[in-house]
């Protein structure tokens, strides 16, 4: 395995962190590192059994950690609303929020109960709606939000007029669109926060190429035979070629979420050749995500699609 510089996570005792997609892979590693640094954790899970297994592992590794969970299916706007309402009712500050959960390249065009393409629904719209519905709490908490995008955003194309993803389907293209939308929204959130004095810090990260169940869960949806993708990734991971472990893949998001020097409106990823692997470092934002007009259009289209409001007025300051 290639060597990499670790991220020195500051003391997080007394701080509360929420991580989506923490049942395994990068999310579980992020939760593990945050718990080890003393943070109280809030972990939303879609699948109760996987969530329970993850909680057991985290509590075994950090016996003194305070860890709570709640149900959340990012592909369901109703589930997003219920989870946000539960957190708003609890009325406890959230200092860090890492939007990590995702799905990648299911072979079939799957529409959610809300009529959204599954990847756009999970990777972008679900997270955006969750952030939007939690906005009064995040504003009060001056939360640092890190969105885990993907290198696929660099070649992605997104049409703000079709965030539902109804205009034809190709698995890789839809994945890139969802991750670019997520990145654009994260950057626009930080721009608007600075412009309107919200106090929220929003940045983004990508993990490089990491072998996790992302390469089997999505590609195998609806297939009679297993996709060969997971086998290829497993072979590359064992050989240490172009693929790194979840431990290394979590570092860019860990840096973005916890280090004081990691500012808002920035993008972090591995520093190795092609940014497939390596140590965490700030990276140049992809050309596809440097269009402020596109970011504003994605912002407005996202709020319209999800029915969530993040006002640019005095109401946002209260």
Catalytic residues: 175
Beta carbons within 10 angstroms of residue 137's beta carbon:
18
Q: What span, in angstroms and rounded, lies between the C-alpha atoms of 8 and 5?
A: 9
| Token reading at 230 | 């997971």
Q: List the 201-205 sheet strands across, edge first.
A: 67-71, 40-45, 16-19, 96-99, 144-148, 201-205, 267-270, 280-283
Residues in CB range of 103: below 8 A, 6 or more apart: 75, 118, 119, 122, 123, 214, 217, 218
Residue 199: what are its φ and ψ, rounded to 5°? 85, -5
* CA–CA gap between residue 190 and residue 263 (Å, rounded): 10
Q: Residue 234, exposed/middle/buried by CB under 10 A (0-12, 13-18, 19+)?
A: middle
What's the CA gap between 266 and 203, in Å, rounded?
Answer: 5
Contacts of 299 (CB under 8 A, 6+ apart): 184, 185, 188, 189, 192
């Amino acid at each position: 395995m290639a060597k990499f510089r670790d991220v020195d996570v500051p003391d997080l005792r007394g701080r509360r962190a929420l991580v989506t997609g923490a049942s395994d892979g990068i999310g579980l590693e992020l939760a593990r590192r945050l718990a080890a640094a003393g943070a109280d954790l809030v972990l939303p899970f879609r699948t109760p059994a996987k969530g329970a297994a993850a909680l057991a592992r985290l509590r075994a590794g950090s016996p003194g950690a305070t860890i709570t969970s709640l149900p959340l299916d990012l592909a369901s706007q109703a589930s997003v609303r219920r989870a946000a309402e539960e957190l708003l009712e609890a009325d406890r500050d959230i200092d860090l929020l890492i939007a990590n959960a995702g799905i990648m390249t299911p072979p079939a065009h799957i529409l959610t109960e809300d009529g959204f393409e599954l990847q756009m629904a999970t990777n972008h719209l679900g997270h955006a709606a969750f952030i939007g519905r939690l906005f009064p709490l995040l504003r009060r908490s001056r939360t640092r939000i890190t969105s885990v995008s993907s290198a696929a955003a660099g070649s992605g194309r997104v049409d703000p007029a079709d965030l539902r993803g109804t205009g034809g389907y190709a698995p890789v293209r839809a994945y890139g669109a969802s991750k670019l939308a997520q990145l654009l929204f994260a950057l626009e959130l930080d721009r608007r926060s600075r412009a309107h004095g919200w106090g929220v810090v929003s940045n983004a990260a990508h993990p490089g190429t990491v072998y996790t169940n992302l390469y089997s869960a999505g590609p195998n949806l609806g297939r009679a035979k297993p996709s060969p993708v997971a086998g290829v990734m497993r072979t590359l991971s064992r050989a240490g070629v172009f693929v790194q472990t979840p431990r290394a893949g979590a570092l860019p998001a860990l840096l973005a979420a916890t280090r004081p020097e990691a500012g808002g409106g920035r993008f972090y990823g591995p520093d190795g050749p092609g940014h497939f692997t390596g140590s965490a470092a700030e990276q140049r934002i992809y050309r596809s995500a440097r269009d402020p007009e596109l970011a504003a259009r994605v912002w407005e289209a996202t709020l319209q699609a999800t029915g969530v409001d993040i006002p640019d007025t005095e109401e946002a300051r209260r």
